[in-house]
Structure 1
C-alpha cells in the first residue's frame, strides 16, 4: 500500500513510498527486519524525496529528555525523535544555556549529529558527549564518544562508514555551567546586552528574517554547503570579489558563503517550474508547487554550473536527496 510522503518532508514534492513505519519505542525498532531499501527519517527538514521511493521509510518519533547535573556541566540524554528547537528552548528555560546559536534549526535531535548541524559559529559537535545507535546488523545498542563520531563540516561517521548501518537512538549533550558566548558571526557582534536569552532571540530573529518558514512556504532550509577552498583560491577570488564573506577553516583553507556566491551570480528569483531561488536568501530553494524531482535536479544543476563558470567553485548540496531506491548526489562530474 503506497503511502504519500508529501507531508513528511518540508520541501513537499509529490512523492510516495512503499511503506511508512513510525517508531515510538526502541523495542519496536529492534524488531524491524530492515529489508532494503529503507530510509531513516526525522522531521524531513533536510531530506527531499524526488519521486516514488520503492522502500520503507522509518520515521523516528521516540521522545524523552533525561537531565543529570554534574560538577561542571549538565548532561542531557535526548531521545532521537525530540524536536531540536524545542530542546534548545527548554534547556535555556531550565537554566542550561549553550545551544542558543543553534536555535530554530528544523529537525529532530537524532538527525542533528548525522550532518553535525551548525550555525552562527557553533557546531553540534562542541557539545556532544556521546551518541547511541542501533547497530542494524546485530540489533544491539552501541555508543560512540565525540571523537569516535568523526565529526567534520556537515559530516560524521553516520554519513560515511555507518551509513545505512546505524539508527541513532539517543544524543547526549554536555552543557558547561560556565557559559561562554559565541559572538563571531554578524548580527551577534552588535548585541548591547550579552546573555544566553539575548543571543537566542537574536538568532531566532535573524533566521526568521532570512529563512522562510517551511510550514508556510515549502523548503528544506540551506540547500548548499558553504564551499571550503584553499587560501590561494581565496586570495585570487578576493582580488575580483573583495566583498566575498570568508571564514578560516584551517591553516590551509577558508570557508566562503555559498549564499553570497549564488546571490552575486544574479540567481535570486530564478525559477524552474515551481522551484525558485528564494528572494530573501539565495541559499534556500523554495517549492511553490506543481513541481517534481526532475525540476529540482534541473535547478541544482543550473546553479552549480553558474557558480562554476563564475568562480571555479563547485557547490555541493547539503540536503539529502532520495531517489527510487537510494540517496543520490548531483555533482558537476555527473555532467562532465
Structure 2
C-alpha cells in the first residue's frame, strides 16, 4: 500500500493587500509558511511515502530567495519523498527565478516535476510512477497532460506499479474558468488515460467535497490555509492510499487555522440584532475574519445606535469590515407626524416616500436632509 499526502495552492509570498491592519496582515503571511510545516508534520505522523504539491507552492515568480530556501528546507524535513509541481503562479521559465534556488535547497532525495517525463520512484523503494502536467506560463488554452498517453503506452510497467497523474489547472464543471485560460481539463480526458489517480491543483475548493472517499480517482485538496473571503472552507489536504490492486481510498484532513467568514443579514427587529450579536460572539477573535453585509429597516433607536453595536461585533473577530449601505432607519408615520405638522412640505414629502415600496433609500436620504436643515 502506498500512502500519499496531496496538497496544492499554498501561495507562499501572498501579500494580502486588502485593508488589513499590519499586524493582521503579518499573521496571515506568516501562517502560510507555518501551514507548510504543519503539512510536513502531518505527512510524517501518518507515515506517508510521498508528499505531493500539485502547483502554486509560491504565489508568484518574484518571491524572495530567502522564502524559497525556507520553504525547501521545510519540505526537506519530510521523511519520505517530496514531489513538487510548478503551477500557473510559479510556472517554469527559461530564466527561472524560483526553481533553481528551490532545488539547491531541497536536496537530491526529492523531486521537482518540471519536465514532461515520467518520474519513477521505484529506485527509492516506492512502486509509483508520477506523470506531471507542467505549467510553463500563467495562462494556457491547452492543458499540460496531452503528452501522457503516448508516454504511458511506451512504458512496460508491472501491474503492481501505481500510476498517478499530477497536474495544475481547471476542471470542466468544477472550476470557474469561463474563458478556458487555466490549462483546462475534462474528467473524460483524464479518466481515458486509465491512471490510478489524478492529484490536481489550482481550484481552491475540495473535490470530492466530502471527508472520506472510496473509488474516486480525481482529487483537488483545496488550499490548505484559507486565503480570502471567497474561501468558505477551513483548509484541507488529502491523504490518499493506493493498494497493489489499484484500490483507492481518500481522507480529507482539516489543515487551516484562519477562517474568512462572510455574513449577509437583513435586520428589522431588536431580536434579529441580538441574534447577530450571539452568532458573531461565537467566533474566534484570534482566528476569524468577518465581512458583514447588512440590509433592512431598523427601529430608530437601533439604527441611531448602530455604530456602538457594530463596534461590539468587531471585538469578536480578528478583522472586521461591514457594508451597511442597504441598512435604513425605519421611518414610521408616527415619526413623521411627531416631527412635522400635517400638510407641511416635509410631512407631505416623507409621507409620500413612505408609502412607496422600494423607496427606503430615498426616504432615508430625505429624512436626513430635512432633519439636518432644522439643526
Whether TM-score is above 0.5 comes out as no
More strand by share: 1
**TM-score bin, normalised by smaller chain:** under 0.3
Greater relative contact order (CA < 8 Å, ≥ 6 in sequence): 1
With structure 1 as the length reference, what TM-score do the two structures score? 0.23
More helix by share: 2
**Structure with max Cα Rg:** 2
With structure 2 as the length reference, what TM-score do the two structures score? 0.22
